[in-house]
């Protein structure tokens, strides 16, 4: 069998998800977090490429920015309405990651000998005699220039960070060690450090895999491969629901989620429901129109009372209403036009724009300012604010 660590990991998480992805080759949308991960990995690769010098941080940042902008166009956003906000959030997060990573990891201090290199390693099953090939991509391989020590680094953009103890029998790291030991058989597994770099935390967790640990990793790999072969023979890939279902792209195909998707897909109101909804909607619309009219009449009564009494606030038994005034300025452009033409600035306010006019007003000749003063109109809008007495939350209503 030719497979990869991520395929084995998928099978371990859920055999049915493995079937959808690896056997049925179901298409999956490009999720923002996946695309983000790819773009950040690409920027880190670029950071360690010498040509003949390493790029500056500014160059890495602009490489990332343009890569994210073009990649984000193909992302399947969960909520199209939030697309811009999410896109900007990922952009900022990526920049923060790259900047803090660069502070701790000046490329001149490392000797990266391979970046995103493809590998394949054979693992022989002593039970069946079959040889399986595991393929993958290694993010970075560093070599100590003064010794035969190597370090394999895998970048992670996820939020969770495991303890060193949890790396002891990590299949992915074991596989990386196997690759290097296969490639250079004179190396001892202890000479190879395997690290996961958690970019969001800017922390690296490292371990080495002694020969017995590598044997354990091989054993685990073979166990998963045998389980996959058995599933294929029996055509049995049971769904295994768990917390990761939330990130699964195949929920719409999964029997564990069938009811949820059926509800969403099949709901269509019938004629009776429509008839009832329509009559309730029209009745509510009627009430809404009447309420608006009545509210306007009541506001008028309150405003007249406030004007007559010279007050700005009136009280009921449990609430009070406060009136506030806001001045709005506008210009009669027909009146203002001759003066503006005379001043030679009419073209500048051709599209009548109060803000522009106000900005240029102090620079205009006094005579023009005077004429404009006559064209100036002031309207006052009045707002009624309803409040509850004694700490009851205020409710505001604007006129």
If you compute the radius of gyration of the chain from its CA atoms, what whole number of angstroms results? 35
* Site size with ligand SF4, rule: CB under 6 A: 14
Degrees to nearest 5, angle at CA 273 with 267 and 276 = 150
Contacting range for ligand SF4; rule: CB under 6 A; set: 135-143, 187-195, 234-242, 297-305: 234-242
DSSP run (H or E) holding 387: strand 376-388
Of the pair 19, 63, the CB lying nearest ligand SF4 is at 19
For residue 172, say if its preceding peptide bond is cis, omega within 30 degrees of 0.
Answer: no
Distance from C-alpha of 185 to C-alpha of 211, rounded to nearest angstrom: 12
Asked whether 331 and 376 are in contact (CB, 8 A), the reply is yes
Q: Which residues partner with 194 through β-bridges?
A: 152, 207
Of the pair 30, 294, the CB lying nearest ligand SF4 is at 30
Using the rule CB under 6 A, is 121 a contact of ligand SF4?
Answer: no
Of the pair 13, 369, the CB lying nearest ligand SF4 is at 13
Residue whose structure tokens are 């902008």: 69
CB of 96 to ligand SF4, least distance (A): 31
CB of 159 to ligand SF4, least distance (A): 19
Contacting range for ligand SF4; rule: CB under 6 A; set: 186-194, 239-247, 260-268, 321-329: 239-247
Using the rule CB under 6 A, is 36 a contact of ligand SF4?
Answer: no
Using the rule CB under 6 A, is 228 a contact of ligand SF4?
Answer: no
Degrees to nearest 5, angle at CA 84 with 88 and 249 = 95
**Interface residue with ligand SF4, options 201, 251, 348, 385 (CB under 6 A):** 251
43: exposed, middle or buried (Cβ count in 10 Å: 0-12, 13-18, 19+): buried
Of the pair 223, 260, the CB lying nearest ligand SF4 is at 260
Using the rule CB under 6 A, is 12 a contact of ligand SF4?
Answer: no
Using the rule CB under 6 A, is 250 a contact of ligand SF4?
Answer: yes
Asked whether 356 and 348 are in contact (CB, 8 A), the reply is yes
Of the pair 16, 339, the CB lying nearest ligand SF4 is at 16
> Which DSSP symbol is given to 81?
G
Using the rule CB under 6 A, is 31 a contact of ligand SF4?
Answer: no
Positions touching ligand SF4 (CB under 6 A) are: 14, 16-17, 239-241, 244-245, 248, 250-251, 254, 256-257
């Amino acid at each position: 069998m030719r497979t990869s660590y991520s395929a084995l990991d998928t099978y371990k998480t859920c055999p049915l998800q493995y079937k959808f992805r690896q056997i049925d080759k179901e298409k999956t949308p490009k999720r923002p977090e996946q695309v983000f991960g790819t773009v950040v990995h690409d920027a880190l690769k670029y950071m360690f490429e010498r040509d003949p010098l390493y790029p500056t941080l500014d160059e890495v940042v602009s490489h990332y920015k343009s890569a994210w902008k073009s990649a984000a166009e193909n992302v399947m956003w969960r909520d199209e309405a939030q697309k811009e906000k999410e896109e900007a959030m990922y952009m900022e997060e990526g920049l923060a990651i790259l900047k803090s990573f660069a502070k701790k990891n000046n490329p001149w201090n490392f000797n990266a000998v391979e970046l995103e290199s493809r590998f394949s390693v054979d693992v022989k099953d002593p039970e069946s005699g079959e040889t399986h090939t595991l393929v993958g991509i290694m993010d970075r391989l560093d070599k100590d220039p003064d010794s035969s020590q190597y370090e394999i680094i895998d970048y992670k953009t996820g939020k969770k960070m495991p303890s060193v103890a949890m790396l002891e029998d990590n299949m992915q790291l074991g596989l990386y060690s196997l690759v290097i030991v296969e490639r250079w058989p004179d190396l001892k597994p202890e000479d190879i450090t395997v690290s996961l770099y958690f970019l969001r935390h800017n922390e690296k967790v490292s371990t080495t895999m002694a020969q017995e640990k590598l044997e354990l990793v091989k054993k685990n790999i073979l166990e998963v491969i045998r389980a996959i072969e058995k599933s294929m023979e029996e055509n049995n890939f049971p769904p295994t629901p768990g917390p990761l279902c939330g990130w699964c792209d195949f929920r719409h195909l999964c029997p564990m989620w069938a009811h949820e998707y059926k509800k969403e897909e099949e709901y269509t109101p019938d004629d009776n429901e429509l008839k009832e909804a329509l009559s309730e909607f029209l009745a509510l619309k009627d009430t809404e129109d009447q309420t608006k009219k009545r509210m306007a009449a009541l506001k008028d009564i309150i405003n007249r009372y406030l004007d007559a009494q010279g007050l700005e606030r009136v009280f009921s038994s449990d609430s009070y209403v406060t009136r506030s005034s806001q001045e709005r300025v506008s210009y009669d452009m027909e009146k203002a036009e001759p003066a503006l033409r005379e001043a030679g600035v009419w073209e500048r306010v051709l599209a009548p724009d109060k803000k522009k006019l106000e900005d240029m007003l102090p620079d205009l000749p006094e005579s023009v300012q005077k004429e404009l003063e006559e064209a100036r109109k002031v309207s006052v809008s009045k707002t009624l604010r309803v409040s509850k007495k004694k700490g009851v939350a205020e409710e505001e209503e604007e006129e």
